[in-house]
Amino acid sequence: MRRNSPLVRCAAAQSASASPRPAMQPRFIQHKQEAFWFYRFLSIIYDHIINPGHWTEDMRDDALEPADLSDRNLVVVDVGGGTGFTTLGIVKHVDARNVTILDQSPHQLAKAKEKEPLKECKIIEGDAEDLPFGTDYADRYVSAGSIEYWPDPQRGIKEAYRVLKKGGKACLIGPVHPTFWLSRFFADMWMLFPKEEEYIDWFTKAGFQDVQLKRIGPKWYRGVRRHGLIMGCSVTGVKPEAGDSPLDLGPKTEDVQAPSNPLTFFFRFLVGGIASLYFVLVPIYMWLKDLITPKGQPI
């Protein structure tokens, strides 16, 4: 597994400038209200259908390793924690009473509350781009499988910086933009699949230092990343000074309280849902290809 998970240093990835990714693009679920309803239904099957294909236990442990969860007394926030699958990996190393799970979906959080190892965790509803924690609050910030729904990813990473203590570390786990044309088409219809250099650019602009990116993926991908992965990399950065991020941002790009046209909402939700099915089929295709192709041969 680790052979397929190289570490990409900040200096190497920064050689390519991150292209702008405004909120208004043909991505149909990169919107908080649409994501809310998307997970209203997905929460029913999330742990049984999505995780086995895109976010396995070995991937989770590999992705969390750079977070340096080395002390059971660390204060940890798991932002966009959903059903608590990532949190289960966190509480292997940190006492559950010191961990807070935050998500905007009550349906996802209801699944987390059912998990016995998470009974002592604080579980709250909240917005990743406007966290309900004080400045310099946590030792570790973890977010897995959440950035793809953020209308303004730079703001979410700025918030990660703010809530961490001096010397604290953020660990953000998310998808990587595909290179295969068909996968790229469906990714850009569905939700945000950032490029590797964009992750590093967002972390650096927020004020993080020692920014590193680690590639992750299911073992049956055999290192092939052209189709994209809902969980494709783990990015970490260290907060060098106490206080808020030095980055100054304007108002939010999305007003979730603004009224929306029901027909427009339904159309966007439907198209986004159809696009998401492609990424349910991709891991099945890669799994079958791994079985058929002799070991040692490229797939």
What is the percentage of the chain residues whose pLDDT exceeds 90?
50
* Inside any domain, residue 249: no
Whether residue 272 is predicted with pLDDT greater than 50 in this model: the reply is yes
Cα distance between residue 254 and residue 146, in whole Å: 16
Q: Report how far Cα 81 is from the mean position of its chain's Cα atoms.
A: 9
Give per-residue pLDDT as tens, 140-195.
999 998 998 888 899 999 999 999 999 999 999 999 999 999 999 888 888 889 99
105 vs 215, which has greater pLDDT?
215
The count of structural domains within the chain is 1
Between 95 and 265, the higher pLDDT residue: 95
Residue 281 has φ and ψ, to the nearest 5°, of: -80, -30
- 251 by Cβ neighbours in 10 Å (0-12 / 13-18 / 19+) ranks as exposed
Cα–Cα distances in angstroms (integers) from residue 179 to residues 35, 188, 233, in the given order? 25, 12, 15
Q: What is the pLDDT of residues 228-237, one digit of tens each?
A: 887 889 999 9
Say what the pLDDT of residue 27 is. 62
% of the chain at pLDDT higher than 70: 77
Is residue 74 in some structural domain? Answer: yes
Task: List Cβ neighbours of 92 (8 Å cut-off, separation of 6 or more).
Answer: 69
Whether 92 contacts 74, CB under 8 Å: no
- How confident is the model over 223-246, as a mean pLDDT? 91
What is the CA 60 to chain-centroid distance, rounded?
A: 12
Instruction: Answer yes or no: is pLDDT of 217 > 90.
Output: no
Is residue 191 one of the residues assigned to a domain?
Answer: yes
- The overall average pLDDT reported for the chain is 83
pLDDT score for 267: 67
Return the pLDDT at 74.
98
pLDDT above 80 for 60: yes
Is the Cβ–Cβ distance between 115 and 81 less than 8 Å?
A: no
Measured CA to CA, the distance from residue 36 to residue 53 in angstroms comes to 22
Tell me: pLDDT of 200 over 70. Answer: yes
- Which has more confidence, 298 or 68? 68
pLDDT for the residue 32: 59
Q: Indicate the pairing of strand 99-103 with strand 7-9.
A: unpaired
Say yes or no to pLDDT of 127 above 80.
yes
Task: With respect to residue 34, please indicate whether it lies within any of the assigned structural domains.
Answer: yes
Question: For residue 261, what pLDDT is reported?
Answer: 64
- What would the mean pLDDT of 217-246 be, rounded to a whole number? 89
Assigned domain for 250 exists:
no
Residues 6+ apart with CB under 8 A from 281: none
Q: Any idea what the CATH number is for the domain that residue 65 is in?
A: 3.40.50.150
218 versus 251: the higher-pLDDT residue is 218
Does some domain include residue 247?
no
**Domain of 68, in residue numbers:** 2-240+255-292
User: Average of pLDDT values for 121-140?
Assistant: 96
Average pLDDT estimate for 1-19: 44
The rounded distance, in Å, linking the Cα atoms of 82 and 86 is 9
The lowest-confidence range among 57-61, 84-88, 292-296 is 292-296
Residue 246 lies in a domain: no
Strand partners, 125: 103
**What pLDDT is stored for residue 3 in this prediction?**
39
H helical segments located in 65-128:
85-90, 106-113
Lowest mean pLDDT among 87-96, 117-126, 162-171, 183-192: 183-192
| pLDDT surpassing 80 at residue 53 | no
Quick check: is 245 in a domain?
no
